[in-house]
Structure 1
Amino acid sequence: MRVLVIGANGQVARHTLTKLNEAGHTPVAMIRNAEQETAVKEKGAKETVFADLEANFDHAFNGIEAVIFAAGSGGHTGADKTILIDLWGAVKAIDTAERLGVKRFVMLSSMGTVDPDKSERIRHYLVAKKLADDHLKRSSLDYTIVRPGSLTNEPAKKLLKLEEEIQVRDNTITREDVAIVLAEVINQKTSYGKTFEILNGATPIQQALGKL
């Protein structure tokens, strides 16, 4: 399957390129400039496409069968970039997929999006993610929304806690484990129309996903 990874130069997204490649998919990395091309190809991108979420990016969807939206404005930017990338960029990607007939869409979101008012420090970020998620839920796409907790750079543990909303947030999750989940659900029809939160836990990833 030709999978467009939007925000392919991000930390989780780079792991996702590797996992998609290992699973036999054709990951297509959507990046903003040529300086990022070598890095994403080293991580497993079979193809690259240059596009900017703040402009028109219809061309990035040519021949695409599925989308993973993993773009984020990053912690070093202000609320304005969060709105433009995490909210408006996501909304445009959803609308473009719907308009061009790309039915499968996986959204990398965030834990805490259920109620952004519980977090003052990153409330603007969680509001943007929630509004983007809600827009995806209203679409006609075969969507899955994955909401990880706090991310670490440790090697994958391949063990999850997976719930619609995790009440006891007693752990973190590695970026590599999030990438494994994103790559696994691409072909998993039981994940269509599902939204769930993930942390590292005690259940093997495939077993946890098998309960969806």
Structure 2
Amino acid sequence: MRILVAGATGKTGRRVVRALQDRNHTPIALVREGSDTSHLPSNIELRHGDLTDLPQDVAEGTDAVIFAAGSGSSTGPEMTDKVDLHGARALVDLSKKSGVSRFVMLSSVGAGSPEGTGDMEHYLKAKHDADEHLKASGLDYAILRPVALTDDDGRRHIRFGDDVDTGGEAARGDVAYLLADAVTNPEWSGQTQLMQSL
């Protein structure tokens, strides 16, 4: 499958690209002009676009989309809204227009009930609203909500759902593995899952 990866140059996105290649998919990296692509495979197909102003044909010719992008912890509420909310919503809409088979969203623990989450509330509200937009889009979807991310590869020992320790950790390697799996695994269809690494 040809799979568009938003956030492909990020810490998680780079792992997603490799995980897709390991499954014999063809990842297509959505990158901004001037992005550092040095961590991506040299032969990867690049598609230029900015989540704050996506081209209308950004998802054309792709079978599925993985949203693994984020505005980053150092940006303010305005950029959070532009990327994590409006950018995600726009990519969902353009993906539907292009007829993709599934949209896989990297969300966050806390996005289910963002109220009263302190400094994270604005970010989690943006993720919540983007998730809800995806659910209402009519697209086949999967939403992954990991706990706090680490830069570890992980061991593929993973806990899901109500048993997740919300104060635990999730290895980016495990997250990338699950995002790649969710593209084609029928068990992920229409699912929203909390996860942590063990």
* TM-score clears 0.5: yes
Sequence identity of aligned pairs in percent? 37
In structure 2, the CA distance between the partners of 1:168 and 1:96, relative to structure 1 (3 Å rule), is same
Residue 41 (structure 1) shift = 2.6
Give the C-alpha shift of residue 60 in structure 1: 2.4
Partner of 2:196: 199
1:90 match: secondary structure:
helix
Which residue in 1 is equivalent to 2:144?
146
1:31 aligns with 2:34: no
| Cα deviation digits, residues 1-48 of structure 1 (max 9, x gap) | 000001111111110001001110000000002442332235xx6211
List gaps (5 residues or longer) in structure 1. Answer: 202-212
> Contact (CA 8 Å) 1:151, 1:173: kept in 2 or not?
yes
Matches within 5 A, 1:95-174: 95-163=93-161, 165-166=162-163, 168-174=165-171
**Corresponding pairs, count:** 198
* Structure with greater helix percent: 1
Q: Deviations over 1:118-177 (max 9, x none)?
A: 4101100000000000011101101000000001112322110111x4563252011111
Q: CA RMSD in A?
A: 1.5
Q: Deviations over 1:79-128 (max 9, x none)?
A: 00000000000000011111121131000000011111241011000000
- Structure 2, unmatched stretches of 5+, are none
- Normalising by structure 2, what TM-score? 0.95
CA distance in 1, matches of 2:59, 2:164: 37
- Looking at structure 1, the residues matched to 140 and 69 of structure 2 have their Cα atoms a distance apart, in angstroms, of 19
Report if aligned partners of 2:31, 2:46 keep a CA contact under 8 Å in 1. Answer: yes
Deviations 1:48-98 (A, max 9, x none): 111111113223212100000111100010000000000000000011111
**Conserved 8 A contact 2:104-2:179:** yes
Conservation of the 8 A alpha-carbon contact between 1:31 and 1:52: yes
